[in-house]
Amino acid sequence: MKNEFMKRAIELSIESINSGGGPFGSVIVKDNKIISEGMNRVTVNNDPTAHGEIVAIRAATKVLNDFNLKGCELYTSTEPCPMCYSAIFWSRIDKIYYANTKEDAQRVDFDDSLIYSELQQSINKRKIPMIQLMRKEALVAFELWDKKTDKVEY
């Protein structure tokens, strides 16, 4: 079954290219059944977050009517970028299967090495300036959240 799910993710990566997107496809599986699919729609939708994994996660949460994808597995045509890995982590997907590596992606000009190195830098040394403002005022929201008794934790 695993090869069939990966085969579909790879098919989606090719479909994506043929429909104007980048070479990335993903499927999310629960109980040995594909519940969602995603392909890269960055340039098609003018959305830099529309990576195949993110598109599949968004679709899966709609199918399950839940932001928590525990019990699901992701099959993706390429090792997830830092943004997608973060989304996978936050969605609580149990396992990731991937085909191409980040080095394979780098060879065709999808290079995330700058992001990986930036995450290692202290905030004041990053390429995109980060300036903290109004922390005291913003902490009010965290204090309210901390005291909220009926919150849905995630």
The residues annotated as belonging to the active site are 53
Closest CA to 76 of 60, 67, 63: 60
| Whole-number Cα distances in Å, 27 to 98, 102, 144 | 11, 18, 37
Closest CA to 110 of 34, 16, 27, 7: 16
Q: Is 79 within 8 Å of 44 (Cβ atoms)?
A: no
Residue with the two structure tokens 């999310």:
28
Q: How far apart are CA 69 and CA 54, in angstroms?
A: 13
| Whole-number Cα distances in Å, 16 to 37, 44, 66, 91, 139 | 12, 10, 26, 24, 42
Q: Name beta bridge partners: 59.
A: none
